[in-house]
Structure 1
Amino acid sequence: MTNDTKKKGFYLALIATLLASIVVGLGAYTRLVHAGLGCPDWPGCYGFLTVPDEAHEIAHAESLYPEAPVEVDKGWAEMIHRYVAGTLMLLVLAIVIQAIRHRREPSQPIKLPIFILLLITLQAAFGMWTVTLKLWPQVVTAHLLGGFATFSLLFLLTLRLSGWLKGRSVARSAAKSVGVLKGLGVLSLLVVIGQVSLGGWVSSNYAALACPDLPMCQGQWLPPMNFSEGFDVGQDIGPNYLGGQLHAEARTAIHFAHRIGALLTTLLVISLVLISFRKAATLDIESQSSGNKLRMLSWCILLLLIAQVSLGLSNIIWSLPLNVAVAHNLGGALLLLSLVAYNYFLFGGEQSSGKLATWRAEA
């Protein structure tokens, strides 16, 4: 990647993507230390801009919120997450302003930055509702998915501005062959999104330790489960969901579904990687750079999948250690990003100038 391929806003988008990864990690940490209600109001904390820590401030805060005693550590976990998320929103606003200023330049993205700004604004609303609705699982899961979507789209914007994974046109004779990769790529992306959604539902309903053993669950292959309660998206709004409200069999159903989803996701993504390696080997010598990029993306997907599965198993074996659980959350985000990059490359992204890449027909 050379400097002349980068478009205006590349470095801002790159910084925003890195900052979004921190926001995702902080969000996971906040949930895992049960600090989602560390500040019972929004956007401040007990009516303060920072966490009250002086005796008179704590006394005043608890007089305003007698049902929520001040826990300084949890308050800071929540507020730091808000501060960093707010900084990210300002950075995205700067990206939009720059995109508008340079909108007349060739291939300068404008719709994507604006959409990201709208999405992160909605994310701020979900952050507020997470607190005001007392960790209602539907909102918590939507907030997590919104964070992953923001991270993914900022990464996509960075790719577009970098000029690195410029897509290549595919010869008509090989369209069917490449179509297999495109179909598997999209399907894998959708399945990973579904698995991330299941992971969010596990987290928001405190079901991570519902099955404390491997490979069975509670010493049984099919333990007692209540799927209707576990996946009842019509749960009442009102109770404080800190620590969860579901019965044990409902949490077991959620955890079990996540395990099955992990197995199916693993099989599908491994199939995608193996077929990608095979297709990359059929590239003509003129398209060797494209073949190398496809192999590199496939290796990234495979390594991230292995890491993510290993982290998921470690969560169960060692009963959800904090650092492993946060890493598992970030691992899911990075696996998602790798598939975003894979599909962006495969579907063409920005068409390269010059000679079109061609694919040899399979032997």
Structure 2
Amino acid sequence: MKQDHYRLWVALTFALSLCVIALGAYTRLTEAGLGCPDWPGCYGFAGVPQNETQQALAASRFPDAPLEAGKAWNEMLHRYVAGTLGLMILALNILAWRKPSRPKGLPALLLATVIFQALLGMWTVTMVLMPVVVMAHLLGGFTTASLLFLLWLRLGRTPSHTSSAQSSSGLQAFALLGLLVVVGQIALGGWTAANYAAVVCTQLPLCEVDWQQGFDASAFALIQPEHDTYQYGVLDYQQRVTIHVTHRMGAMVTAGVLFVLACLLWRHRALRGVAVMMLLVLAGQIGLGITNIVASLPLSVAVAHNVTGVLLLLSLVAVNMQVYRMRLAGRYPNNVASRMGS
């Protein structure tokens, strides 16, 4: 496979990873995460039980988990597409080793990530939506998409930059800070969703209740007491308020950090494009977050909020790559391309 064709395969795999993220959000938001009480099948079948005989057998196998066909199909569709993504990432690794010039490290890391992501998918079901597992599963999906995007960028042409390494060293550190802040905010969002805290506050900018007096740090304990199921949440109201308000404050911090980063990027003509892209995605994400609050979490908006979250993360990946290349070009103006392709 030629290099351009390989990059196209990476792009298709990346596009599928975004579909998996959207389907995962839809599955969770429609309460279909336990649509099939077992894994990897559904009530002991490869697909959703269809006829009366299969449905009767499913009921005998899982008497405490009545079949809801719609939810079961949502869950199985997500599994089918995620499985296809895993096979495409496996193919990426095989193709990478067939040509010495292709990167080997990122495809291998992708394969390890998607295998662990499959385990998290299994634990999501077997541990009945334990919040820490649900959050980790979300982060795993975002990590997979980010690594695929990074691989796609590395396979592209390396642009030339005129800025010196010295002028961009501080910018590189701040770009990395922006990336870490966004990752932290995504984790907060995942924790908010996994604990069903998205709609406990309905007013802006923070919350209609006295959240300061009732702030409960135990809301962030990753290991929660064992329950028969964590569906619909197990934390009390004040704990959910604590999580929700923290997520909102995190959004404010994230917006501030990214705005400062955009101002720093704007000083470099070659980086203005990624700065504008990052701010546009940020503005869209803020708008979707506000809509979720005032409209009580509409399904389409909530799914879009998840997808835009990964797009914001990807914009920070692009920013860091561009800044890194600019600094590398300042240090090694004649050897950037060879270093980026390793």
* Match in the other structure for 1:330: 307
The one-letter amino acid of 1:297's match is V
TM-score (norm 2): 0.92
Q: What is the aligned-residue identity percentage?
A: 45
Write the mapping of 1:258-273 to structure 2, written as runs, cut at 5 A. 258-273=247-262
The one-letter amino acid of 2:247's match is H
- How many angstroms apart in 2 are the aligned matches of 1:146 and 1:41? 21
Structure 1 residues 167 and 58: CA distance shift in structure 2, 3 A: farther
Write the mapping of 1:185-196 to structure 2, written as runs, cut at 5 A. 185-196=175-186
Write the mapping of 1:201-280 to structure 2, written as runs, cut at 5 A. 201-220=191-210, 222=212, 224-228=214-218, 230-277=219-266, 279-280=267-268
Contact 1:199-1:258 at 8 Å conserved across structures: yes
Contact 2:163-2:327 at 8 Å conserved across structures: no
- How many angstroms apart in 1 are the aligned matches of 2:119 and 2:106? 20
1:345 positional shift: 1.3
Deviations 1:118-148 (A, max 9, x none): 1100100000000000001111111100000
- How many angstroms apart in 2 are the aligned matches of 1:339 and 1:54? 49
Count of paired positions: 333
Contact 1:167-1:351 at 8 Å conserved across structures: no
TM-score (norm 1): 0.87
The one-letter amino acid of 1:344's match is M
Please tell me whether residue 182 in structure 1 is matched to residue 172 in structure 2: yes
Unpaired runs of at least 5, structure 1: 282-290, 358-363
1:53 positional shift: 3.0
* Match in the other structure for 1:33: 30
Contact 1:51-1:76 at 8 Å conserved across structures: yes
Unpaired runs of at least 5, structure 2: 337-342
Contact 1:133-1:237 at 8 Å conserved across structures: no
Structure 1 residues 167 and 142: CA distance shift in structure 2, 3 A: farther
Match among 164, 171, 177 for residue 164 of structure 2? 171
Match among 269, 272, 280 for residue 303 of structure 1? 280
- How many angstroms apart in 2 are the aligned matches of 1:349 and 1:120? 31
* Match in the other structure for 1:160: 154
The one-letter amino acid of 2:14's match is T
SS of alignment partner, residue 325 of structure 2? coil
- How many angstroms apart in 1 are the aligned matches of 2:319 and 2:310? 14
Structure 1 residues 214 and 350: CA distance shift in structure 2, 3 A: closer
- How many angstroms apart in 2 are the aligned matches of 1:62 and 1:34? 20
CA RMSD, Structure 1 to Structure 2 (Å): 2.1
Match among 129, 135, 140 for residue 141 of structure 1? 135
Please tell me whether residue 47 in structure 1 is matched to residue 44 in structure 2: yes
1:226 positional shift: 2.0
- How many angstroms apart in 2 are the aligned matches of 1:202 and 1:123? 20
Contact 2:179-2:317 at 8 Å conserved across structures: yes
Contact 1:181-1:275 at 8 Å conserved across structures: yes
* Match in the other structure for 2:339: none
Deviations 1:235-277 (A, max 9, x none): 1344300111110001110001100100000000011001211
Contact 2:169-2:327 at 8 Å conserved across structures: no
Structure 1 residues 258 and 345: CA distance shift in structure 2, 3 A: same
- How many angstroms apart in 2 are the aligned matches of 1:324 and 1:345? 31
